[in-house]
Amino acid sequence: MQNWIEAFYVIDFISVGILLTAVSMNAVSRLETCVKVYTLNSLLLSLLIAIVATIIGEAHLYAASIITMLGKGILIPLFLWKIVKQMKVTHEVEPYISNTLSLSISGILVAVVYASLKEGIFVTGFAKNVFQISLAVILIGLFIMISRRKAITQIIGLLFMENGLFLAGFSLTFGMPMVIELGVLFDMLMGVIILGFFAVQIRKAFRSSDLDKLTVLKG
């Protein structure tokens, strides 16, 4: 079981896949595709945890994998999907900067993470690569949050950050206690639901989901 995981670099491929989905968020301009990319990212995350669970053989990692898949891979995307449908938003997201530039900036972010974590890092083995990638995902999620105009893409940026944080915690500790994981997950779910209602309300009140319009005082 462990042989083929090491022989085919499965962990490397999945973690690079997580990084790639985060980077490709910068090039996506349709809201539906944004949700799909986030779903893929979460599913890859849960797959990574499941693979590590088969290597280490700890039961609570399997549980964490299943919870991640159900919560982040199915529940949150379904809710986001519903918001996108409800808001009847146009397909295009109008970012502040062009796709090419934001792709390049996210590439630079990855380079910065790699350059700053080259030495003095205390995790070893595959966890080192995963830790670097998780920090890159956090930074890219932050960048998506500050570079997009629409409320819904900013929510997705926040979710990417959370995925990165989860990955960082996982690579450092091989799974946090179940209580914390469950707590974070429910926190996230509630946060997304509240943010989603906010996005819908903003759309109703201002006839636009553009957060720039919020600077105009009403009545």
Partner 1 sequence: MEALQFIIILIFSPMLQGLIKKFKANMQGRLGPGIFQTYYDLARLLKKDMVVSNVTSWIFRATPYIVFISTLAASMIVPVITAQYPFVAVSDVIALIYIFGLARFFMALAGLDAGTAFGGEGSSREMTVAVLVEPMMVLSIFTAAISAGSTNLAMIAKTQNIFYSPSHVLAFSAFIVAVIAETGRIPVDNPDTHLELTMIHEGMLLEYSGRYLALMEWAHYMKQMLLFTIAVDIFFPFGIVAGALGITGFAASFGIYTGKMLFMCFLMALIESTRAKMRFFQLPSLLGGAFVLSALSLLIYIMMGR
Binding site for partner 1 (CB under 8 A): 8-9, 12-13, 16, 19-20, 23-24, 27, 98-100, 103-104, 106-107, 110-111, 114, 118, 129, 132
Residue 110 beta carbon to partner 1: minimum distance, rounded to whole angstroms? 6
Cβ at position 94, least distance to partner 1 in Å: 15
Task: Rank residues 80 and 133 by Cβ distance to partner 1 and give the closer one.
Answer: 133
* Backbone φ and ψ of 43, nearest 5°: -65, -40
- Between helices 59-68 and 31-56, what is the axis angle to 10°? 170
| SS3 per-residue string spanning 11-76 | HHHHHHHHHHHHHHHHHCCEHHHHHHHHHHHHHHHHHHHHHHHHHHCCHHHHHHHHHHHHHHHHHH
Q: How far is the CB of 36 from partner 1 (least distance, A)?
A: 17
**Shortest spacing between CB 31 and partner 1, in angstroms:** 18
Is the CB of 28 or the CB of 84 nearer to partner 1?
A: 28
How far apart are alpha carbons 2 and 129 in whole angstroms? 18
Closest to partner 1 by CB, 23 vs 67, is: 23
